[in-house]
Amino acid sequence: MANDFSKEEKVAFTELLEGFDDALVLSRAVSKYDMGEVEAERGSDTIWRPSPYIAQSFSGLDQTSNFGDSIQLSVPAQVGTVQSSHFQLNAKELRDGLQENRLAKAAHQKLASDINVAIMNTAADEGSVVVTRSGAATGYDDVAEVDAAFNELGVGMDMRNLALSSRDYNGMAGNLAARETMNTKPTRAYEKAFV
């Protein structure tokens, strides 16, 4: 038998989704794609998406030997992980809206954390630009090294994101905040290289 939700429960679910979206930090750095419910069902939660082209450049005016075929590639994208967090309240316990709200908030905080960790792990496992360090990131020099690597590859500013663990981020912020000789020029440099 299909679920039949009351209007009030649907409104509460909408409010839950609003709070859930606000709690996502790393997911704001990735694009979201909605393949649609019917397409997802008929395609077993898999869709083929076109891969972006990566152009090459050559020096000189005579380019006759550099022409080649262009191939459009598509890669399968699918829902690979399904996380859920649930709680159970009986009819009498549902009268206590405070407990229901607390349980719902705990559930969406946990799911938001799961999404952030999954995105961080995917970026770490599948990232192609790597800047090695023997220890944790500690300050501006670490960010400048990443910026230089992206500049050398021609990665646009709108495609760059730096994700740090909470400990690394706080350590780096502490390093930057401890600058004693901050005047307008270094302040502007730090603002342009915003972490």
Of 48, 30, 27, the closest CA to residue 39 belongs to 48
Residue 157 near residue 123, CB atoms below 8 Å: no
The rounded distance, in Å, linking the Cα atoms of 22 and 8 is 22
The rounded distance, in Å, linking the Cα atoms of 49 and 190 is 38
Q: Positive or negative, the Cα torsion across 51, 57, 58, 64?
A: positive
Q: What is the mean pLDDT of residues 111-129?
A: 81
For 44-69, the pLDDT digits (tens) are: 888 888 888 877 788 888 888 888 88
The rounded distance, in Å, linking the Cα atoms of 190 and 138 is 15
From the number of C-beta atoms within 10 Å of its C-beta (0-12, 13-18, 19+), residue 172 rates as buried
Better-scored residue on pLDDT, 149 or 70:
149
Give the pLDDT score at 185.
61
For 79-91, the pLDDT digits (tens) are: 777 788 888 878 8
Please provide the distance, in angstroms rounded to a whole number, between the alpha carbons at the two ends of the chain.
Answer: 51
Structure tokens at 40: 């997802």
Residue that has been written with the tokens 């069902």 in this structure: 41
pLDDT above 60 for 194: no
